[in-house]
Amino acid sequence: MLRVKDVAREIATALNDVEQGNEFARWPQADILEYLQDALRLAAVSRPELFTAEKTVDLVPGSRQPLPDDCAKFVSAEVNPDGSEVSSESRLLARLYTKPACHTGAYAVQSVSFDAASDSRAFNVSPPVPAGVRAKLKIVCAGVVPELTAQMLGANAPMPVQDSLHPAIIHYALARAHMIDSESQTSWARSQYHLKAFFDVLSLGR
């Protein structure tokens, strides 16, 4: 199990900031935690599929459907409430033409669309949901990036992300740490190396 405190110490060790009795002297744990949090936010932008969750949402009257509060971005609608599968044309614009996505009286969703470039907090259904009709749809969305708290450093709290992100977030934290000494060409070069490695590692998993 990958623990938050272990990741923080791994970063401090790479920075040679773990002198016994004086650990985290130059880079406090609070700063490292901030670097890790920012790493997760950036990773979620580059690889939203690593932060996904399946949700059954209640549809509202009309075409535009807002996402639940615990979803940051719509990804797809892959399974209907009746269990039938659907397909999407692309990652940015999902259109499904399949069996009715939900059944409440005479109403049935026939297609779903989403354009990430214009509205990441909603998706559209067709035909529009009539007023007074209760309908549901099972979607896949990118969840809100998990929050890392100071309490996690003093406990056995696991990193609330996939282990596959471990190398990437280490690189990002080291990049941020070396940026502190901006007047040093060596530190600047190291920060750029780790920042590039962060995005390279994320890309390898695509």
Query: What is the per-residue pLDDT across 130-165, written as a single tens digit (0 to 9) for each?
Result: 999 888 888 888 876 889 999 999 888 999 888 889
Please give the pLDDT value at position 112: 85
Mean pLDDT of 48-68: 88
Buried b (16+ CB within 10 A) or exposed e, 171-195: bbbbbbbbbeeeeeeeeeebbeebb
Whether the pLDDT of residue 74 is over 50: the answer is yes
Residue 44: pLDDT over 90: no
**pLDDT > 60? residue 106:** no
> What pLDDT score was predicted for residue 97?
35
The answer to whether 50 touches 165, Cβ cutoff 8 Å, is yes
Task: Spell out the residues 6+ positions from residue 176 whose beta carbon is closer than 8 angstroms to its own.
Answer: 35, 38, 191
Confidence of residue 103 (pLDDT cuts 50, 70, 90): very low
- For the beta sheet containing 136-143, the strands, ordered from the edge strand earlier in sequence to the opposite edge, are 52-58, 136-143, 71-76
Q: What is the mean pLDDT of the chain?
A: 83
pLDDT recorded at residue 127 = 83
pLDDT at 182 over 90: no
Give the chain's end-to-end CA distance (angstroms, integer).
Answer: 24
Tokens of 84: 């039938």
Collapsed DSSP state (helix, strand, coil) of residue 35: helix
Q: If you average pLDDT over each of 22-26, 83-87, 121-125, which comes out highest?
A: 22-26
Residue 99 has pLDDT above 50, yes or no: no
- The pLDDT assigned to 71 comes to 83
State how far the Cα of 90 lies from the Cα of 88, in Å rounded to an integer: 6
pLDDT band at 101 (very low <50, low <70, confident <90, very high): very low
**161 C-beta neighbours (distance < 10 Å), count:** 21
pTM over 0.85, yes/no: no
**pLDDT recorded at residue 119:** 60
Indicate whether 7 pLDDT > 60: yes
